[in-house]
């Protein structure tokens, strides 16, 4: 089992979608919301995803395919 | 010895020991080094600093590691230049340039890496790592070489050859990662969490970022122990921007300067401007961006200190420049042609933003203003290929020279 900490950023058209709920149903991944800020135009959620490493990766790919931007919780790691 | 006392979460203020950790376990807020300022005040003085080495280690009392064991390749104490020519062009008679292009690996990253590497070795690490598109990789490779540490450096697979060379010469393990920007970022974040390495801007980030304070210390000392009225600083992760101001504040806390009233203004490229865009929209919530700019050393779409940069812009009555790639090139040329300093694209962002903020009336002519030039121009020559005047090619005769020289058009007036 592994744990990944990620930040989901939702574009305006996805604000009303229950994507985190759907992710938990589609994949064997436990979602734990740790921080969030959502308004009518944009939203971000910091999540801990717990599960098999490959299953977590698949869930991330799925969320990305839905239009969610996914970043490391610490911000960009690659620097100039 | 160091006067660092512990780490503290910037959000919830929980305290942690001085270990290799960088986020709060409870709220994921960033951790920052806290010092015993009472103890520092008892030992520090202007004279003590002035007698120190001509490097960032003259500010040893304010750094989170033991300077006696420093990994020192000569970072810091770079020139502060009164930029009379550029100041005349921009209408800023009290304009200064902090020229950090002259660091050992030609960028300000030597400051942060010197501190991170020293602290990493104190913590028992033998391997120094980073993920970078240039300056950081160069500096980590050089410091690891000097320290006898192993360097593991991750770069995007399509990085230009000359940028690889600036790291390869120090013989690190250079890893080219295939994938787009986001994928490389996520992989490196995962690697940083799964290997027992000192990843300079991840698990030892609280120490790493403290190195940037030394720019603030130096500017204040070089101005005769006073903080400037206004600073213009390029924003990538935002850490440099925030820490320069922290440097002024620490000098004040320890009685070395008067209370700083410095306005802090930022500079970003339009092709990667999460902070500038949020600032323009009046929001304290930046939206991550996918970078697309020639200023690759500033191409951080999801800046770790983006929020704190916005807070600082607000709290210091600052402003934020946002300039196009064309303006960046013009900024590089303007700096070179007026002051003889060849800066990388990030320097072009700073100078173009400085010009923009003056034109917008955000910087006043009477302010003592310092612009921070953070990296040298030979690192980013590609965007200049089409922008510079060609050389005169002549036969080896007087006649040929005179013919070519007289055919030249008079130089266009600058600006």
Question: What pLDDT score does B44 carry?
Answer: 98
pLDDT tens digits, one per residue of A27-73? 999 999 988 988 887 788 999 999 999 999 999 999 999 999 998 88
A74 touches chain B (CB under 8 A): yes
User: Do B183 and B164 belong to one domain?
Assistant: yes
Q: Is residue B227 part of a domain?
A: yes
Whether B352 and B292 share a structural domain: yes
For residue A79, the chain B residues in CB contact (below 8 A) are 130-133, 135-136, 201, 236-237, 300
Last residue of one domain, picked from the residues B203, B225, B240? B203
- In a domain? residue B324: yes
In a domain, B39, yes or no: no
Residue A41 DSSP label? S
Domain hosting residue B348, numbered range: 80-106+211-384
Does B135 map to a domain? yes
**What pLDDT score was predicted for residue B415?**
46
Q: Smallest Cβ distance to A78: which of B185, B285, B346?
A: B185
Instruction: Tell me, yes or no, whether B287 lies in a domain.
Output: yes
Q: pLDDT > 90: what percent of chain A?
A: 54
Nearest to B133 among A9, A74, A78 (CB): A78
For residues B233 and B313, membership in a common domain is answered with: yes
Question: Using CA atoms, how far apart are residues A77 and B184, in angstroms rounded to an integer?
Answer: 9
Hey, are the CB atoms on B28 and A72 less than 8 Å from each other? no
Q: Are strands A78-79 and A43-51 parallel, antiparallel or unpaired?
A: unpaired
Residue B85 lies in a domain: yes
| pLDDT exceeds 50 at position A3 | yes
Chain B residues within an 8 Å CB radius of A6 = 186
DSSP lists the bridge partners of residue B151 as: B128
Residue of B nearest to A37 (CA): B285
Inspect the interface and report whether the beta carbons of A71 and B190 lie closer than 8 Å. no
Q: Which residue has the higher pLDDT, B117 or A3?
A: B117
CATH numbers and ranges of domains, chain A = 2-72 (3.30.70.260)
**Of B156, B287, B304, Cβ closest to residue A74:** B304
Q: Is residue B339 part of a domain?
A: yes
> Cβ-count burial of B229 within 10 angstroms (0-12 exposed, 13-18 middle, 19+ buried)?
middle
The answer to whether the CB atoms of A9 and B287 lie below 8 A apart is yes
Q: Quick one: B136 and B284 in the same domain?
A: no
Asked if residue B191 and residue B92 are part of one domain, the reply reads no
User: Which among A37, A42, A76 is the nearest to B300, CB-wise?
Assistant: A76
Same domain for B244 and B333, yes or no, is: yes
Q: How far is B275 from chain A (nearest CA, A)?
A: 13
- CATH code assigned at B147: 3.40.50.1100
Which residues on A lie below 8 Å from B293 (Cβ)?
none
Residues B260 and B346 reside in one and the same domain: yes
- Closest among B266, B270, B321, B320 to B295, alpha carbons compared: B270
Q: Which of B168, B203, B238 is the last residue of a domain?
A: B203
The answer to whether B268 touches B350, Cβ cutoff 8 Å, is no
pLDDT score for B411: 65
Question: Do B348 and B240 lie in a common domain?
Answer: yes
Residue A78 C-alpha, separation from nearest chain B C-alpha, in angstroms = 5
Q: Please list the residues that pair with B263 across neighbouring strands.
A: B230
User: Residue B346 in contact with residue B325, Cβ under 8 Å?
Assistant: no
B132 and B258 belong to one structural domain: no
- Same domain? For B128 and B193 the reply is yes
- Its pTM stands at 0.93
Distance between CA atoms of residues A19 and A69, nearest Å:
12
Tell whether B140 and B227 lie within a shared domain.
no
Is the Cβ pair A35, B132 closer than 8 Å?
A: no
Looking at the fold, whether B181 and B249 belong to one and the same domain comes out as: no
Give the separation between CA B57 and CA B59, rounded to whole angstroms.
Answer: 5
Least CB–CB distance from B302: residue in A4, A42, A71 = A71
User: Are the beta carbons of B28 and A34 separated by less than 8 Å?
Assistant: yes
Return the residue matching tokens 């130096």: B218
In a domain, B401, yes or no: no
The answer to whether the Cβ–Cβ distance between B300 and A71 falls below 8 Å is no
3-state secondary structure chain B: CCCEEEEEECCCCCEECCCCCCECCCCCCEEEEEECHHHHHHHCCHHHHHCCCCCHHHHHHHCCCCHHHCCCCCCCCCCEEECHHHHHHHCCCCEEEEEHHHCCCCECHHHHHHHHHHHHHHCCCCEEEEEECCHHHHHHHHHHHHHCCEEEEEEECCCCHHHHHHHHCCCCEEEEECCCHHHHHHHHHHHHHHCCCEECCCCCHHHHHHHHHHHHHHHHHHCCCCCCCEEEEECCCCHHHHHHHHHHHHHHHCCCCCCCCCEEEEEEECCECHHHHHHHHCCCCCCCCCCCCCCHHHCCCCCCCHHHHHHHHHHCCCCEEEECHHHHHHHHHHHHHHHCCCECHHHHHHHHHHHHHHHCCCCCCCCCEEEEECEEHHHHCHHHCCCCCCCCCCCCCHHHHHHHHHCCCCCCCCC
The CA dihedral of B353, B356, B358, B363, to the nearest 10 degrees, is -50
Number of domains chain B contains: 2
pLDDT band at A11 (very low <50, low <70, confident <90, very high): confident
Q: Is A68 helix (H, G, I), strand (E, B) or coil?
A: coil
Cα dist from B288 to B101, B315, B359, B368, B387, whole Å: 29, 22, 28, 33, 31
**Which residues of chain B fall short of a pLDDT of 70?**
411-415
- How far does A74 lie from chain B, in Å, by closest CA? 6
Last residue of a domain, one of B154, B179, B203: B203
Alpha-carbon gap: A25 to the closest alpha carbon of chain B (Å): 24
């Amino acid at each position: 089992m592994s744990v990944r900490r990620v930040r989901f950023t939702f574009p305006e058209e996805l604000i009303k979608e229950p994507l985190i709920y759907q992710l938990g149903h589609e994949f064997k991944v436990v979602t734990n919301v740790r921080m969030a800020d959502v308004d009518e135009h944009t939203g971000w959620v910091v999540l801990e995803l717990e599960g098999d490493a490959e299953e977590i990766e698949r869930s991330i790919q799925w969320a990305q395919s839905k239009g969610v931007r996914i970043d490391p919780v610490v911000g960009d790691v690659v620097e100039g | 010895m160091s006067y660092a006392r512990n780490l503290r979460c910037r959000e919830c203020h929980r305290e942690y020991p001085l270990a290799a950790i960088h986020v709060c376990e409870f709220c994921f807020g960033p951790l920052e080094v806290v010092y015993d300022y009472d103890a520092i005040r008892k030992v520090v003085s202007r004279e003590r600093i002035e007698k120190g080495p001509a490097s960032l280690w003259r500010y040893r009392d304010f750094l989170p590691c033991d300077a006696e064991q420093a990994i020192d390749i000569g970072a810091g104490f770079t020139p502060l230049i009164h930029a009379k020519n550029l100041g005349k062009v921009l209408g800023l008679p009290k304009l200064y340039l902090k020229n950090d292009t002259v660091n050992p690996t030609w960028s300000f990253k030597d400051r942060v890496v010197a501190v991170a590497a020293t602290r990493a070795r104190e913590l028992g690490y033998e391997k120094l790592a980073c993920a970078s598109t240039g300056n950081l990789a160069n500096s980590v490779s050089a410091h690891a070489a000097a320290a006898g540490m192993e360097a593991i450096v991750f770069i995007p697979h399509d990085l230009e050859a000359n940028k690889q060379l600036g790291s390869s010469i120090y013989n690190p393990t250079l890893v080219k990662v295939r994938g787009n920007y986001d994928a490389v970022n996520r992989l490196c974040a995962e690697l940083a969490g799964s290997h027992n390495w000192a990843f300079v801007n991840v698990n030892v980030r609280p120490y790493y970022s403290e190195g940037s304070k030394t720019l603030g210390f130096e500017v204040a000392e070089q101005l005769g122990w006073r903080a400037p009225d206004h600073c213009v600083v390029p924003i990538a992760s935002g850490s440099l921007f925030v820490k320069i101001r922290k440097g002024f504040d620490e000098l004040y806390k320890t009685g070395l300067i008067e209370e700083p009233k410095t306005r802090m203004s930022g500079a970003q490229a339009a092709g990667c401007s999460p902070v500038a865009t949020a600032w323009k929209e009046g929001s304290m919530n930046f939206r991550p961006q996918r970078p697309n700019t020639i200023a690759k050393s500033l191409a951080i779409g999801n800046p770790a200190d983006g929020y704190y940069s916005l807070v600082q812009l607000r709290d210091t009555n600052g402003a934020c420049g946002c300039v196009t790639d064309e303006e960046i090139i013009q900024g590089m040329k303007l700096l070179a042609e007026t002051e003889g300093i060849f800066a990388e694209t990030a320097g072009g962002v700073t100078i173009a933003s400085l010009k923009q903020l003056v034109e917008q009336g955000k910087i006043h002519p009477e302010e003592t203003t310092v612009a921070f030039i953070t990296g040298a121009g030979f690192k980013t020559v590609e965007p200049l290929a089409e922008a510079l005047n060609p050389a005169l090619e002549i036969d080896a005769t007087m006649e040929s020279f005179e013919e070519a020289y007289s055919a030249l058009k008079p130089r266009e007036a600058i600006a």
